[in-house]
Amino acid sequence: MPSNERRYVIRLGCPDRTGIVARISGFLADAGGWIVEAAYHTDPATNWFFTRQEVRADSIGFGVDELRERFAAVAGELSPAADWSVIDTGVRRRVVILVSKEGHCLYDLLGRVHSGELDVDVRAVVGNHADLAPITRAHGIPFHHVPFPADPDGKAAAFAELRDLVDAHTPDAIVLARFMQVVPAQLCADWAGRALNIHHSFLPSFIGARPYHQAHKRGVKLIGATCHYVTADLDQGPIVEQNVIRVGHADSVADMVRKGRDIEKVVLARGLRAHLEGRILLHGNKTVVF
């Protein structure tokens, strides 16, 4: 089947019990749904069931709004605690990217968008420095410069301006592409499940600032990067994607930074793609990635 075929992506998480798969399959069969991808998982530690289904949109005789309305009733039958969503792949997903001075992650994402590899609508890039404005505008994307003063009142005002700029686009994803600012707890809550960060370390090791310096001091043999959802607990949000690269005793901090940047770009792109394709189901501080 063509990769650009329009599909509806149905995701559900709920307490596990018998009959869930049969109920969902029956619902889709009754609607004429042609399932092209299906995945299931149960976490025995929490007794929580997860599923993700992709259905050909042209196989269902009604629109996505009605599908959501009908599936809401099914999810409610399965459990009042059910967490579910329906994504229409025919609607381009909206993204806002937050940056600072380092541009490698932004360059990579913009390149993937420009080549068509990542089919998203980047609505804006917001930076607390203006260094990355030229490359952003060269791609025809608006750039907003929001300086972040050191004093608490000035920083709070900057985050309020940032929030207004981001929320104006109702983005499906807010990407912290080496943004290097600690997001306030309330903003973390408001953007929960949408804000993705790339941390230049294989979490949970070396949380916080200067992780490559921490890694070099410890003499590690592997360094990595972690894409995770942003929460009020610094660098401790649910992990989406990770990868590592080997380093040696002769590598300087600068060598680690250079090697680590390659990993950061790939990990962030993979994590963002998984999020936008609806492949990530959250439960507590853990993720299931189908």
| Segment holding 71, helix H or strand E | helix 64-78
Q: Does residue 241 contact residue 271 with C-beta atoms inside 8 Å? A: yes
Amino acid at 47: N
The single residue of 16, 88, 172, 235 carrying the catalytic annotation is 235
**Strand partners for 168:** none
Radius of gyration of the chain (CA): 21
Element spanning 227, H or E: strand 222-229
The region, left, alpha or beta by phi > 0 then psi within -120 to 50, assigned to residue 206 is left
Label residue 140 exposed, middle or buried (CB < 10 Å: 0-12, 13-18, 19+). Answer: exposed
* 65 is annotated as an active-site residue: no
**Cα distances (angstroms) measured from residue 167 to each of 156, 180, 188:** 16, 20, 13
Amino acid (1-letter code) at residue 220: V
With b for 16 or more beta-carbon neighbours within 10 A and e for fewer, the 87-123 pattern comes to bbbeeebbbbbbbbebbbbbebbbebbeeeebebebb
Backbone dihedral region for residue 178 (phi beyond 0: left; psi -120 to 50: alpha; all else: beta): left
> What's the rounded Cα separation, in Å, for the pair 282 and 218?
33
Closest CA to 53 of 78, 89, 18: 89
Strands 94-99 and 121-127, by their bridges, are parallel
Q: Which residues are catalytic?
A: 235
